[in-house]
Copies of this chain bind each other. A is one copy, B any other.
Amino acid sequence: MTSILTLHHLEYSQSFRVLWMLEELKLPYELKVYARDSKTMAAPDDYKLLSPLGTAPVITHGDLVLAESSAIMDYILDSAPENSLRPKETSADRARYLFWWHASQGSMMPLQLMTTVLTISQKRLPLLMRPFVKLYIKGLNDLFIEPRLNRLLELAERDLAEAPWFGGQNLSAADFLIAFNLIVGAERDMITAAKHPRCMEWIAKMKALPSFASATEKDGRDSMALSY
């Protein structure tokens, strides 16, 4: 395919990780930035129509329209076979890379998504319902969400004590994928220096990459996700 890949970047969304990885790879691409609706904060209609899932990120490349962060990142890495962001099948880092590459979206993001949905939705409730629903959500959080998130973050602390990056000895696609989870998690106090010093060190190291500065400049926003 000779056409140029276009990243459709929705502000304050998971598409930041794709933008960041593209900057790291120094690949040619076009960037189209979409603003959220200023009242509802939802994606604008043209974005929802473009995206197969109605969500960010999305890329287009010739006739292809592709959604899903990890799928997009694998597709981009396919197009740059000399990249070093995917440990080879024979690498000693392979299993660790595969774990974090998949656990970021398969285990961590579902818990973070649940927290976001529960947090936002309870703010819109009638006053009468609110105390009951708050109690219910606290239960979900204490019994299900937090224990699972803590276990994942303990694993992250343990692995980062053994090797500097999520994929092992070298910076990998897993770092760019999980960066969204952890940086947003730190902004929302899910990750703290007291409990997760190695995750916080890793975040500082990721933000010191020149690709973070250039991605942030192209994004033009002050953070990756909306606060709530």
Contacts and interface: CB of A to CB of B under 8 A. Distances in A.
Contact of A70 (B106, B125, B148): B106
Interface in A120-157: 121-122, 125, 128-129, 132-133, 135-136, 139-140, 143-144, 148, 151-152, 155
Contact of A67 (B52, B89, B99, B101): B99
Interface stretch (A23-31, A109-117, A214-222): A109-117
A180 to B, nearest CB: 12
A107 B53 contact: yes
A66 B53 contact: no
A202 B135 CA distance: 42
Contacts of A103: 53, 67-68, 71
A184 interface: no
A98 to B, nearest CB: 4
Interface stretch (A32-40, A74-82, A192-200): A74-82
Number of copies: 2
A54 B148 contact: yes
Contact of A109 (B67, B110, B151): B110
Interface string A44-82: 000000001111000000001011111100110010010
Interface residues of A, number: 48
A140 B137 CA distance: 13
B78 A89 contact: yes
B107 A106 contact: no
A94 interface: yes
Interface in A86-105: 89, 94-95, 98-99, 101-103, 105
Contact of A53 (B78, B143, B144, B148): B148
10 contacts: A54-B151, A66-B95, A66-B98, A74-B98, A74-B102, A78-B89, A106-B106, A106-B109, A110-B113, A117-B140
